[in-house]
Amino acid sequence: MPIVANHAHEKLKGGQLIIGIMVRLNCTVEIARVAEACDHDFVLLDMQHGGMGIETAIKVCHAALSTSVTPLVRVSSKQATDASRLLDNGAMGIVAPDIDSAEEAHHLVSVCRFPPLGKRSVAIGYPQLGYAAMPIVDASRALDENTMLVAMIETEKGVENAEEIAAVEGIDLLFVGSGDLLAGMGI
């Protein structure tokens, strides 16, 4: 059982609405406490359009772990090259932009989930587990169960493939990026 629960993920699994704040600018560790004070379920750190680097995102994730707010990070691209580092260092969910197909969703799962579902490399001393020593199989299972993977649908192709993307094992949520979707449609 993980020491830090993913409260937003638990609410979603229970069919409840979750509310959060997306942070692009002026990101300090206090934002986790502000989000908690406002009864938000998550804080979404935007590394795609925001100016923060991975070190800042990790610091905010660490701060959020001591609250009831789930730290999520939108990575800069669907390749999700920093996703496993973020997950190893406190993020409890990854939001990947521009997912257009089930194949791309499978790649996201591969990067972010441990074997047998994915290919995420194992580390030791996870902050989400309070740095507790535990067998790798238990740590991997606890982290996978409490990690949210969100595929952003931002193109007409993504909309056409939304059901197939949602059906990929390991994807927890679809998030429509309405700005890019509407821009791509000329609206």
Tens digit of each residue's pLDDT (9 = 90 or more) over 146-181: 999 999 999 999 999 999 999 999 999 999 999 999
Please, what's the b/e burial string for 9-18 (b: 16 or more CB within 10 A of its CB; e: otherwise)?
A: bebbeeeeeb
Structure tokens belonging to residue 76: 């800069």
Tens digit of each residue's pLDDT (9 = 90 or more) over 48-97: 999 899 999 999 999 999 999 999 999 999 999 999 999 999 999 999 99
Residue 137: the pLDDT is 94
Tens digit of each residue's pLDDT (9 = 90 or more) over 114-126: 999 999 999 989 9
Residue 2: the pLDDT is 55
62 as an active site residue: the answer is: no
Query: What whole-number percentage of the chain has pLDDT above 90?
Result: 91
CB-based contacts of 16, cutoff 8 Å, min separation 6: none
Show the 3-state SS of 59-75.
HHHHHHHCCCCEEEEEC
- As a whole number of angstroms, the distance between CA 16 and CA 11 comes to 5
Cross-strand pairs, 22: 44
Q: Radius of gyration over alpha carbons of the chain, in Å?
A: 16
- Among 7, 9, 49, 107, the active-site one is 49
Structure tokens belonging to residue 85: 């580092």
Tens digit of each residue's pLDDT (9 = 90 or more) over 17-53: 999 999 998 778 999 999 999 999 999 999 999 989 9
Instruction: Assess whether pLDDT exceeds 70 at residue 134.
Output: yes
How far is residue 80 from each of residues 38, 65, 71, 87, 111, measured CA to CA in Å?
30, 22, 16, 11, 7
Q: What is the Cβ-side half-sphere exposure of residue 129, based on CA atoms within 13 angstroms?
A: 24
For helices 30-37 and 54-65, what crossing angle results, to 10°? 40
Instruction: Assess whether pLDDT exceeds 50 at residue 1.
Output: no
Say if CB 75 and CB 108 are below 8 A apart: no
Distance of CA 30 to the CA centre of its chain: 20
Taking the complete model, does pTM exceed 0.75, yes or no?
Answer: yes
State whether residue 158 is helix, strand or coil: helix
My answer on whether omega of the bond before 71 falls inside 30° of 0, hence cis, is no
